[in-house]
Amino acid sequence: MAYPRVLSDLIHDLKQIPGVGDRSAERYAFSLLEMKTEIVEDLVEKLSDCRNNLHPCEVCGHITDKDICDICSDSSRNQNIICVLEDYRSVIAFEKAGNYNGVYHVLNGLISPIDDINPEDINLSSLIKRVEELEKPELIIALKSTIEGQTTTLYIQKIFENKKVTLSRLSYGISMGTEIDYLDEITLDRALNDRKKIE
């Protein structure tokens, strides 16, 4: 092997990052080796800070380093409109699009019986509790249009039917299975504005 063992271990670990293959892992490892010691130490510290301090918000499930995230604690946002998303990446995509003034609820997964992921395995019970406490809640379900996304949407629809909740779902003329966080800001914005009411 051309590398010292510690270096080949580092390359091996870098390849665990999705999308990083042999060549990129090698390039990252070499770049890291050539950086100043204090920059690398700072990077290691930040990485460890993120790992140790980020956790789901007690209210919405979005990642935060506080008990309650900045979005939930922002009194200028409309707490009666809740956009239901699969993961924190989707929240970040919506926030980047920048025109949504409601709050979110992050499920941290989708119902998938085939993978043995059931309703109780995702962040749903806190959504039910949250909605019950609101006077005129509106739920915007913004899950991807895969089987899992549709199953979860239907399940949520069933929970809230015949309750005082306005339900709508994101409309987007995009291909099946597109991840919300891959949508560009304009498409996401349009999908939000054209949301379809679920009767």
Site for Zn ion, rule CB under 5 A: 57, 59-60, 62, 69, 72
Q: Greatest CA span in the chain, whole angstroms?
A: 67
Token reading at 88: 């924190």
**Rounded to the nearest whole angstrom, what is the least distance from the CB of residue 88 to Zn ion in the complex?**
10
Q: Quick one: 11 or 60, whose CB is closer to Zn ion?
A: 60
118's CB contacts (< 8 A; 6+ apart) are: 111
Q: Quick one: 26 or 130, whose CB is closer to Zn ion?
A: 130
Helix (H) or strand (E) holding 82: strand 78-85
**Rounded to the nearest whole angstrom, what is the least distance from the CB of residue 39 to Zn ion in the complex?**
32
176's CB contacts (< 8 A; 6+ apart) are: 145, 146
* Nearest in space to 131 (alpha carbons), one of 90, 98, 181, 166: 166
Q: Quick one: 21 or 98, whose CB is closer to Zn ion?
A: 98
Q: Quick one: 91 or 191, whose CB is closer to Zn ion?
A: 91
80's CB contacts (< 8 A; 6+ apart) are: 102, 134, 135, 136, 137, 138
**Rounded to the nearest whole angstrom, what is the least distance from the CB of residue 66 to Zn ion in the complex?**
9
Q: Quick one: 24 or 79, whose CB is closer to Zn ion?
A: 79
Helix (H) or strand (E) holding 186: helix 185-193
**Rounded to the nearest whole angstrom, what is the least distance from the CB of residue 13 to Zn ion in the complex?**
32
**Rounded to the nearest whole angstrom, what is the least distance from the CB of residue 86 to Zn ion in the complex?**
15
